[in-house]
């Protein structure tokens, strides 16, 4: 029987591995071997990875791929993508190449505002709270001077501190709703430090405020934390071309393709079941660049899906139109990204990814990420409304199936040729593989 363990984090790496493999796996020796195969032979590099988190036992690999030919605001990028799903990089590359000859992607930053909140309980007269807040506002700013000096020097800092009365939603609940400019940093540490300082000032000054009753003086701070919902940290990416230039496929007329693409987007706008999958396809592109560049994909995911629901129902993140013979396809998306700080200075592959992107600013990275998401959605929709998704997917999936079967390079080559003219299904691949083996 497995019993709980005390002090797991204090064990050495080797001891942790012994404990986990002996208690939770059938063949401890084999599991240990698998875990160790993924250790880096460079001990310094391995130590760096070990120390990213607690209780590290191995490294978890994802492929890092490149989608070249992304023309964004007339600059050519090769986009690094870290992802396991077989068809994603191919789809992004295909869409990038398609738009390369049609003017590329045009992107615009619509805002860079980050948000954080001090959530607190105040039992008393909200008018008095308002006067108190106005009187301590300069102190809230000056008390955090030490934290904000270097950010201010670079042109960022605290943009605004507002008192928000949320008592209609929850009794006695108020917030300091604060906005920040964090430039090339994602800014989580900066924002959280400022917020925690605001909370200290708020509590301290309330105790001294003579207009407050004793109850009112006791402001109860529940928590101080940044918000990953950043509806004013937005980038727009778009592509457009004449409708007659949209098609490369003789099986469908350009005008028909344009209309089907618009219909597909319209369905995702009104039908949440479809919108979720539609947006998932966009996230295939977005998450993989976010991961490759060492950004926080959970924060980005949470913020984007909240934004997709901003009008009360979950809806498409992309939009499409046909006007005066022009097909236009675009995305507005919230992205709080960093190109300095965090993993960006630590992870050697993240540094390489950022170098490949020509060391972008956070704003430039927002534009690259948005364009990749848009490209991914375009590729998915074009397949969905023409051939169907499985044709492309299964071709890419073929290699995964062959790897699972243990095919050699020669066998993979022969079977890839065979499936150029045959439909890929799991059972067809297994049969073809077995036939080849028995030949």
Residue nearest to ligand MEV (CB): 281
Using the contact rule CB under 6 A, the part of the chain among 128-136, 243-251, 274-282, 336-344 near ligand MEV is 274-282
Minimum distance of ligand MEV from residue 302's CB (angstroms): 19
Binding span for ligand MEV by CB under 6 A among 134-142, 216-224, 273-281, 323-331:
273-281
**284-303 footprint of ligand MEV as x/- string (CB under 6 A):** x-------------------
Whether 30 sits among the annotated catalytic residues: the reply is no
| Catalytic pick among 16, 75, 177, 280 | 280
**In this complex, which beta carbon is closest to ligand MEV, that of residue 84 or of residue 211?**
84
Phi, psi at residue 265, to the nearest 5°? -70, -40
The active-site residue out of 32, 296, 347, 397 is 296
Determine, following the binding rule CB under 6 A, whether residue 277 of this chain makes contact with ligand MEV.
yes
Q: Which of 90, 389, 405, 436 binds ligand MEV (CB under 6 A)?
A: 389
- Please report how close the Cβ of residue 320 comes to ligand MEV at its closest, in angstroms: 13
Site string for ligand MEV, 330-369 (x = CB under 6 A): ----------------------------------------
Binding string to ligand MEV for residues 217 to 246, with x set by CB under 6 A, is what?
------------------------------
Shortest distance, CB of residue 279 to ligand MEV, whole angstroms? 8
- Residue 249 falls in the annotated catalytic set: no
Q: How far is the CB of 380 from ligand MEV (least distance, A)?
A: 4
Tokens coding 177: 């709703």
By CB under 6 A, the count of residues binding ligand MEV is 9
Q: Which is nearer to ligand MEV, 185 or 268 (CB)?
A: 268
Q: Which of residues 72-101 bind ligand MEV (CB under 6 A)?
A: 85
Q: Which residue has the tokens 């169907």?
A: 388
Does the protein bind ligand MEV through residue 399 (CB under 6 A)?
A: no
Determine which residue in the list 102, 203, 253, 280 makes contact with ligand MEV, applying CB under 6 A: 280
Q: Please select the residue that binds ligand MEV; options are 80, 281, 303, 338, rule is CB under 6 A.
A: 281
Q: What's the CA dihedral at 184, 189, 194, 199 to 10 degrees?
A: 150
Q: How far is the CB of 112 from ligand MEV (least distance, A)?
A: 29
Question: In the set 278, 347, 382, 397, which binds ligand MEV (CB under 6 A)?
Answer: 278
Counted residue by residue, the chain has a size of 439
Active site residue 393: yes
Q: Which of 13, 16, 75, 85 is catalytic?
A: 85
296 flagged as catalytic: yes
Q: What sign results for the dihedral spanned by CA atoms 15, 16, 19, 24?
A: negative
Binding site for ligand MEV (CB under 6 A): 85, 277-278, 280-281, 284, 380, 384, 389
Instruction: Give the active site residues.
Output: 85, 280, 296, 393
């Amino acid at each position: 029987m497995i019993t709980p363990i005390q002090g797991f984090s204090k064990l050495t790496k080797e001891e942790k591995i012994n404990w986990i493999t002996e208690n939770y796996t059938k063949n401890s020796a084999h599991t240990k071997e698998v875990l160790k195969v993924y250790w880096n032979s460079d001990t310094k590099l391995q130590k760096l990875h070990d120390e990213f988190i607690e209780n590290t036992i191995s490294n978890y690999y994802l492929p890092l791929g490149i989608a070249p030919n992304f023309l964004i605001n007339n600059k050519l990028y090769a986009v690094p993508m870290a992802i396991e799903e077989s068809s994603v990089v191919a789809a992004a590359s295909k869409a990038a190449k398609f738009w390369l000859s049609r003017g590329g992607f045009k992107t615009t930053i619509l805002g860079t505002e980050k948000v954080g909140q001090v959530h607190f309980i105040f039992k008393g007269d909200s008018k008095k709270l308002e006067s108190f807040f106005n009187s301590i506002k300069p102190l809230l700013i000056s008390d955090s001077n030490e934290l904000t000096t270097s950010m201010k020097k670079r042109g960022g800092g605290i943009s605004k501190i507002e008192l928000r009365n949320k008592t209609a939603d929850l009794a006695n609940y108020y917030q300091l709703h604060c906005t920040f400019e964090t430039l090339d940093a994602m800014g989580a540490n900066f924002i959280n430090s400022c917020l925690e300082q605001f909370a200290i000032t708020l509590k301290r000054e309330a105790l001294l405020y003579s207009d407050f009753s004793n109850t009112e003086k006791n402001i109860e701070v529940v928590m101080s934390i940044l918000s990953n919902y950043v509806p004013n940290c937005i980038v727009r990416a778009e592509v457009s071309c004449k409708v007659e230039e949209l098609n490369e496929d003789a099986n469908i007329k350009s005008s028909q393709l344009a209309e089907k693409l618009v219909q597909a987007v319209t369905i995702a706008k009104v039908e949440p079941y479809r919108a979720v999958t539609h947006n998932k396809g966009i996230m295939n592109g977005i998450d993989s660049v976010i991961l490759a560049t060492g950004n926080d994909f959970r924060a980005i995911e949470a913020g984007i899906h909240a934004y997709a629901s901003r009008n009360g129902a979950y809806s498409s993140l992309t939009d499409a139109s046909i006007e005066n013979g022009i097909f236009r396809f675009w995305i507005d998306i919230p992205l709080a990204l960093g190109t300095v700080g965090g993993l960006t200075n630590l992870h050697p592959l993240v540094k390489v990814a950022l170098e490949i992107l020509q060391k972008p600013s956070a704003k430039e990275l927002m534009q690259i990420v948005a364009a990749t998401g848009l490209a991914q959605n375009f590729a998915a929709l074009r397949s969905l409304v023409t051939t169907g998704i499985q044709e492309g997917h299964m071709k890419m999936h073929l290699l995964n199936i062959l790897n699972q079967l243990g095919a050699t390079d020669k066998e993979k080559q022969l079977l890839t040729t065979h499936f150029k003219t045959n439909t890929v299904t799991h059972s067809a691949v297994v049969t073809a593989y077995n036939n080849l083996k028995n030949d």
